[in-house]
Structure 1
């Protein structure tokens, strides 16, 4: 990827709020983590569901009931709708009926992210997916880049929320700077012309290939029960990208 210059030693510009704009800081990321973990006993469904998703296979209600176990079979149908909402918010995957009787379901990629190659550890699937969506969202909100220092600060809050939900994720920074970079979901690079040397994160080529700014904005707005147009500056940028006329921000032109 060609280096893109920006003012203030290449540091990404923060988006300015107008009177008509809803502050982007209002987007509630914590609901992603909390939503997926509403029911501790069905966490075991996530690895099974994601394996089906990655293989592009459908899933049956009987398979889900078998996975949650005999002790929880009676309760699961009653919370299934809530479970589907949690999966949509947490993973960007919709669970939709594929037959009129509701026995078979298809897994629809709302965000488009495949997560392929990242989910080999069943115990870490939830936090890995959450961190990926979290970081891609932050980069978009922050002017398509975020400094290493600012991301570390945001990650501290994520870790605090994870501890509240009794999630143990060892060394999330290593996962970000090694695994997500290797998978090309994020680019980790030196800020051009920075002295002393500083680093920043951008969307990687795989993120651009699998999702779009509009999909990400729609997902973030859904977390707040908002319309994407409630964030007009972000919406305009996402819409411009969808029309195939991506504008290069001032200061980032070659």
Structure 2
């Protein structure tokens, strides 16, 4: 970890801790949990949707789409991926036969009104997230506005600079250098290991993968799907270059990776 990044991170933690009410800093694991019971749902065909629309007024469609938008915005506050099963069960309900039209309308509102792009990140389990188009334009360094985001940004930077995958002990040792000991309860983050391996993983910023044939069991970290979509590697490398006072092209491997990937994705 470079001294400049560590100093910036610690400054952010100190300043935000004074300014942020404790009620806004408490994010329990229960808040991240979703319903485990899936309800049977098959995506209706185009003909089924068209037939169902004959019995739905434009006002009813708009109202249901607005409810979907609100549901996504609530989940977005904690960066929780939305399961299609939960969306159908809690919001769409009896309007499931026009689900595609509801999602189309909701997606348009999220894009045009809130500047958020609706993305399905898991086609098998049908998980959706919202991507801020404005954040992608500004770059990751402008998003380091809270201690948790700062901590996440440090971890993503380490993983990127280490070739895209690091063993967990590398992360824990890096955090210790920032006086964030994963083995102790932190005043700002609480259980640090739980924050990293549970909350950040649930939010799809990180992937935590067990390393085979290790005893005791060890894990390694990769960038998660949300990080790949939200964080521009080009801008991240430029930011690290500024902190190092170094031309980003000198990190040839990372520079090549950053510029060969479409990150952030085009709208």
TM-score w.r.t. structure 2 length? 0.46
By relative contact order (CA 8 Å, sep 6+), the higher-ranking structure is 1
TM-score w.r.t. structure 1 length? 0.48
- Which structure's CA Rg is the greater one? 2
